[in-house]
Amino acid sequence: MSASSALQIAYDSDLDLVKISPNAQPPVCKIMNYCKYKFEQIKNQKEARKNQKVVELKEIWLSMTIDIGDLNVKAKQAQKFLAAGNKIKVSIRMRGRQNAHSNLGIEVMNKFFTLIENDAVIEKKPLLEGRNILMILAPKA
């Protein structure tokens, strides 16, 4: 069909002539209501964004001298974060003489992980970075 006759048909029915593949030989066109088509596309994009899960990085602070009771409280909080689908950044800040005994901080991190290992996977192992020891945990799939 010629472009002028297709344009006339679209004009008569109060619709738009939209080129689907303008580079093809001959060009492929479609008669449709373009405003309604754009509205549907925007609506579908909004729906896709609404269904998208945003993963947050929650942070839990521990200390090298933390007691088992406090460690259990932090573990329960971490399990709530993991159940919501968030990742966790566990960190210990070392002060003064604690810098000389960073291995104790790593032991605290490992003890913390054993409390929540049913719900979490280690994404980044406990690692000394300056005065901090950091570990990142992700929820189990």
Q: Same domain, yes or no, for 36 and 94?
A: no
Q: 113 and 80 share a domain?
A: yes
84/115 same-domain check: yes
User: The domain spanning residue 83 has which CATH number?
Assistant: 3.30.110.10
How much is the pLDDT for 55? 80
**Are 93 and 128 part of one and the same domain?**
yes
Whether residue 133 sits in one domain with residue 66: yes
> Which CATH number fits the domain that encloses residue 22?
3.10.20.80
pLDDT of residue 72: 95
Check residue 113 and give its pLDDT. 95
Distance, in Å, from the CA atom of 139 to the CA atom of 130, rounded to the nearest integer, reads 27
Q: Tell me the C-alpha distance between 15 and 130, whole Å.
A: 66
Shared domain check, 130 and 91: yes
Q: What pLDDT is attached to residue 68? A: 93
pLDDT in 10s for each residue of the chain, 141 residues: 888 888 899 999 989 988 888 888 888 889 999 999 999 999 999 998 888 777 889 999 999 999 999 999 999 999 999 999 899 999 999 998 888 888 999 999 999 999 998 999 999 999 999 899 999 999 988
Regarding whether 132 and 71 lie in a shared domain, the answer is: yes
User: Residue 24's pLDDT is what?
Assistant: 87
- pLDDT for residue 116: 93
**Per-residue three-class SS string for 29-75:** EEEECHHHHHHHHHHHHHHHHHHCCCCCEEEEEECCCCCHHHHHHHH
Residues in the chain: 141
Q: 25-34 long-range contacts, Cβ below 8 Å, gap at least 24?
A: 27/3, 29/3, 31/6
Burial of 78 (0-12, 13-18, 19+ CB in 10 A): buried
The pLDDT of residue 20 is: 86
* Contact of 104 with 128, CB cutoff 8 Å: no
Domain range spanning residue 113? 57-139
pLDDT at 134: 94
Mapping DSSP to helix (H, G, I), strand (E, B) and coil, where does residue 82 land?
helix
Residues 62 and 45 in one domain: no
Residues 131 and 112 both lie in one domain:
yes
Number of domains the chain is built from? 2
Same domain, 14 and 80: no
Please indicate, yes or no, whether the overall pTM of this predicted structure exceeds 0.75. no
